[in-house]
Structure 1
Amino acid sequence: MEETVAEQIGFYASKTGMADFAQESIKEGKRRILDSLAVMVAAVNAPPVASAKRLLRRWPTAQGSTVIGSDLKASPQDASLVNGIMVRYLDFNDTYLSREAIHPSDMIPALIALAEAFEASGEDLLKGVLVGYEVACALADAATIRDRGFDHVSNIAIGAAAGAAALLELDFERAFEAVNIAGVNAAALRQTRAGELSMWKGCAAAYAARHGIFSALLASEGVTGPKPIFEGELGYMKAISGPFNLPRLTPQATRILKTSIKWWPVEYHSMSAVEAATRIVSQIGRVKPEDVERVRVSTFKVSYNIIVKDPEKWRPKSRETADHSLPYITARTLLDGDIWLDSFEDVKMRDTAFLELAEKMRVEVDPRYDELYPEAVPNSVEVSLKGGRVYSEEVIHPKGHYKNPLTDEELRLKFARLTAEKLSPEELEDIWNMVMSLDRLRYVGYLMAPLSRL
């Protein structure tokens, strides 16, 4: 009898180990952890993070996992929620593009919290991360769920359960049940990313990852879940994804090699538009709206549907909407010459220069670009000035894309820029070295200690 999807994932999570992984995958796992820690540090005081911390302070505990940037300890699932909001809030963590687009590093804070609570080693954490990436990305390869009204974080819940099962070294039966439990409550609605976006945009994946590791914890104590959770009469395929065959899960965990690290804090489909806009600014200087006749942006259908078509994307009123708005992101880059964390402050969104430039902007879908996606994220930006001069730039694989990856030096520069206000150069060096030698770290808690003192 053919294995069910949950059985395939359970077998993979329980049987795959460090000896199976490709060295390139192990290195990229370390780089994704470093990237995630930097983004988390930068978001340590973000509004939804502060709200979640206040909630945890109502029921303090002396043991558990570190809540970054505080003296708080919490259960691994609760620490994973707060730290997970940090990794996602700035829209600056990694991306995997396939039939579904996901941010697999959304699982990293949850797996770190679990590893710390169970006094696991750095090698245990790496195993959990690489298994989680492989499973979540394979699910993204298998089916598109956004067009059916469901959010991509459904994949994160199941991937996190698999990663947690691997980290905790659950046997097949318990790993299998972790997937069943995670799957039955994995459905998340796509309304999270429609219209004017709320704080929940930065919380949804953290909530899903929390559910994933808690599913593994329940399974570790003998709780069972419904089955077959994917193929069943009222299962995941019937309700959420439609029928699919799970692509082969690679023992070498090579899907992480096709994830991309962000160089700018924007929704990934707009990344190449930012790079194109910066190239134009390098030629003509920062754009002044009064000098512009028109701006034309060419993109692809998936990009248009996610970050252009809603009226709210043309007049964003929240940070969450602005960093998911191709018109705003492109205009802001042309106006300022760059885009960074402060580009999404209220004063910037209300800026009359942006409003004036947006009025002169048109965004269109180029069918040629549809043919390149998801292996590329092509955008072109054309600025026509009064007087007749026209400047145009096209970018297919932006900096940080897996086909144009960041070097270690560039990743370190991103890390330093994001953490400059919170970490000393010595602390940065210690964390960098600890993660780069993570497979030799005896206890993940050593990594978290300096992050509690921010």
Structure 2
Amino acid sequence: MRASARPRRDAGALAARPVESDGDRLLGIAHRAAATSAREPPALQRAHRPRDGLRRPGPVFLRHAVPPPDVRPCPAAARAAHRRGARRGPVLQGPCSRLRGRAGARRRGGGAGPGRRPRRLRGGPGSAIVPSVTAIAHLAEFTLKTTLGDCPPEALAVVRRAALDTLGVMLAGAAEPPARAVRALARAEGGAPLCTVAGTDLRTSPTWAALANGTAAHAHDFDDTSFAWMGHPSAPLLAALLAAGEAELADGAALVTGYVVGFEVGAALGEALNPSHYARGWHATATLGTLACAAAAARVMRLDAPETRHALGLAASLASGLRENFGTMTKPLHVGLAARNGLLAAALAREGVTASARALDGARGFAAAFGDAADDRLAAALERLGRRWRLLDPGIAVKAYPSCAQTHAAIDALLELRAAYRPAPDEIAEVLVGVDRLTPGILIYPEPTTGLERKFSMPFCAAAALADGRVDLASFEAEPAPAVRTLMPRVRMVVDDAIGDDPARRAWARVTVRLRDGRTLGPLLRGPAGHPERPLSDAALRAKFLACAGRVLAPGAAAGLAEAIEHLEAIPDVRALTARLTGPLD
């Protein structure tokens, strides 16, 4: 038997198992699988036939939809393992304990074989069962052991707000060119119709749905951000989770747990690797997001420990995304690829594809290639998983404007000065915007020529705030007004040393407006609205959602979706939520 192959099941035992034993859940799987298989070409049907030659219903994601047995560490076995030096891996309780705890770990390469002790992440934690772990093993343990009950109630409220915001901007972004391009390719190539593509009636495979919805969610650059990630967490996570949840017939509680797990994994890696990772030119949403999505998908897909470790190792090799592509359609595509690749990594791992146990912290691993984090810094960040919830501190920033987050503090300040003093554009001599050291490398378009470039242009965003009194979706869809064009050359962005390098002040700005008559307005120093210290009110967030979703859905349908999200963790089937995302787009 190959080292990565699954142990074969007894054909008689499989045939004797009643398909209806789990009631409506398994009956739904069988019905959907039968309908799908009837439409599949022979080549795809062959691809769905497992290695043991037995025909099981449905595509890859449905073959494993039966909930696995409850697998728990066995206290007596733990003590025995400790006496043996834990050389044979954790011993688990449950019907598949021997397969999953010992043989499975050795055959898949996920654990330490006889006579080989796993290497310790320098400074990393241990446990009574496995006294030394790699970074991937630590992340896998957190991914599998975290439950909804472990999460603070405040964190669940944050997830609901993130879902409301993200699904709104996903629907709005579905009409944008990059999202349309992905859907066109998905329709042309086809896929098992298991998952919803937001804003349309298209159903496709989980990986195509994750790619399409992730791209749509970031198409306007209106989705939330995280200072821990130095990127956008919710767009890739929810795109991956919706696809995995539909394919696995998961409930809302599984979706919320997967989000928390994925967010915390991405934030821990960001804490260890940033800001050097970001400063090197990597788009952290795409790189860290791929690993975060793999963890989230592994949780929803109920992968076991070796499979989860391999999924994270695979994701480390699939992660990519360059900041040089900011201001182009490739930037939203990064988000779709992070969602798709994270989900793909989990699916491949479940099919037996292996990866290195040191893919994160090895000499040629992710941390060494993507950043300059020392082993102790990575270990310290992972040690805080489950002890400090980064979902609450530093939290999530919800965007008030559909542009790069580094423009928002300046927009806020200039709108306030405009409301107070009403300066005419021809009265303004100069607009001085002080920012932190990273921002000039992000806002790279002083003379933008497209709507996407204007999202990364401080001159445009500042001029639009002063001339138009607003910065909204329409600001980036039409050509700039003459007054905006007049003001743009008068906007000057400089590094303000007083802002410093504190991560909590990374998006702050100091704004001063000098008038031709010698007066000076400001300076105003502040962080952006929507920042955890200045959160959008529930009413403001709902208004943003309805404005975005209303571009695709009827008002009643948008309101119904918002009400469903208010009880996200109580939804019995994710499909009850995704059914509300369908719309009239092509």
| 1:334 maps onto 2:455 in alignment | no
CA contact (8 A) 1:156 1:209 kept: yes
Q: 2:426 aligns with which of 269, 286, 290?
A: 290
Match of 1:260 in 2: 397
Secondary structure, counterpart of 1:381 in structure 2: strand
Q: Which amino acid aligns with 1:166?
A: R
Structure label with greater radius of gyration: 2
Match of 2:386 in 1: 251
Map 1:210-225 onto structure 2 (within 5 A): 210-225=340-355
Match of 1:80 in 2: 210
Secondary structure, counterpart of 1:314 in structure 2: coil
| 1:154 maps onto 2:154 in alignment | no
Cα offset, 1:336, TM superposition: 0.7
Q: 1:179 aligns with which of 302, 312, 320?
A: 312
Cα offset, 1:298, TM superposition: 1.3
Secondary structure, counterpart of 1:380 in structure 2: strand
CA contact (8 A) 2:195 2:205 kept: yes
Q: 1:93 aligns with which of 212, 215, 223?
A: 223
Map 1:119-134 onto structure 2 (within 5 A): 119-134=249-264
Match of 1:363 in 2: 493
Q: 2:450 aligns with which of 288, 297, 318?
A: 318
CA distance in 2, matches of 1:119, 1:129: 16
CA contact (8 A) 2:513 2:523 kept: no
Secondary structure, counterpart of 2:542 in structure 1: helix
Q: 1:113 aligns with which of 243, 246, 263?
A: 243
Cα offset, 1:134, TM superposition: 0.5
CA distance in 1, matches of 2:449, 2:233: 27
Cα offset, 1:395, TM superposition: 4.2
Cα offset, 1:191, TM superposition: 2.3
Give the unaligned 5+ runs of structure 1: none
Cα offset, 1:346, TM superposition: 4.7
**Which stretch shifts more, 244-253 or 57-66?**
244-253
CA contact (8 A) 1:280 1:393 kept: no
Match of 2:440 in 1: 304
CA distance in 2, matches of 1:198, 1:414: 24
Q: Which has the higher helix share?
A: 1
Cα offset, 1:59, TM superposition: 3.3
**Which stretch shifts more, 324-333 or 175-184?**
324-333
Cα offset, 1:371, TM superposition: 4.4
Pair 416,325 (structure 1): closer, same or farther in 2 beyond 3 Å: same
> Aligned-residue CA RMSD in angstroms?
1.8
CA contact (8 A) 1:64 1:117 kept: yes
TM-score (norm: length of structure 1)? 0.93
Match of 1:281 in 2: 418
Match of 1:418 in 2: 548
CA distance in 2, matches of 1:252, 1:121: 26
Which stretches of structure 1, 4 residues or longer, exceed 4 Å deviation after superposition?
Answer: none
CA distance in 1, matches of 2:253, 2:154: 15
CA distance in 2, matches of 1:393, 1:344: 27
1:78-132 deviation digits (Å, cap 9, x = unpaired): 101111111111111111114x511101221111111011111011111111101
CA contact (8 A) 1:161 1:215 kept: yes
CA distance in 1, matches of 2:138, 2:318: 19
Cα offset, 1:372, TM superposition: 4.2
CA contact (8 A) 2:414 2:511 kept: yes
CA distance in 1, matches of 2:434, 2:149: 45
Q: 1:233 aligns with which of 363, 371, 378?
A: 363
Match of 2:267 in 1: 137
Q: Which amino acid aligns with 2:557?
A: E
CA distance in 1, matches of 2:546, 2:523: 29
Give the unaligned 5+ runs of structure 2: 1-119, 121-131
CA distance in 1, matches of 2:550, 2:323: 35
Q: Which amino acid aligns with 1:314?
A: P
CA distance in 1, matches of 2:150, 2:267: 18
Map 1:33-44 onto structure 2 (within 5 A): 33-44=163-174
CA distance in 2, matches of 1:187, 1:79: 19
Cα offset, 1:407, TM superposition: 2.2
CA distance in 2, matches of 1:133, 1:318: 32
| 1:3 maps onto 2:133 in alignment | yes
Pair 253,40 (structure 1): closer, same or farther in 2 beyond 3 Å: farther
1:367-404 deviation digits (Å, cap 9, x = unpaired): 11124443453212222222222212524232210111
Q: 2:151 aligns with which of 21, 29, 42?
A: 21
Match of 1:208 in 2: 338
Cα offset, 1:361, TM superposition: 2.0
Match of 2:296 in 1: 163
CA distance in 2, matches of 1:125, 1:164: 9
Secondary structure, counterpart of 2:429 in structure 1: strand
CA contact (8 A) 1:157 1:209 kept: yes
Cα offset, 1:353, TM superposition: 2.8
CA contact (8 A) 1:201 1:320 kept: no
**Which stretch shifts more, 40-49 or 404-413?**
404-413
**Which stretch shifts more, 385-394 or 442-451?**
385-394
| 1:430 maps onto 2:430 in alignment | no
Pair 109,94 (structure 1): closer, same or farther in 2 beyond 3 Å: same
Pair 444,406 (structure 1): closer, same or farther in 2 beyond 3 Å: same
Cα offset, 1:432, TM superposition: 1.7
Secondary structure, counterpart of 2:572 in structure 1: coil
Pair 213,253 (structure 1): closer, same or farther in 2 beyond 3 Å: farther
Match of 2:8 in 1: none
Pair 73,103 (structure 1): closer, same or farther in 2 beyond 3 Å: same
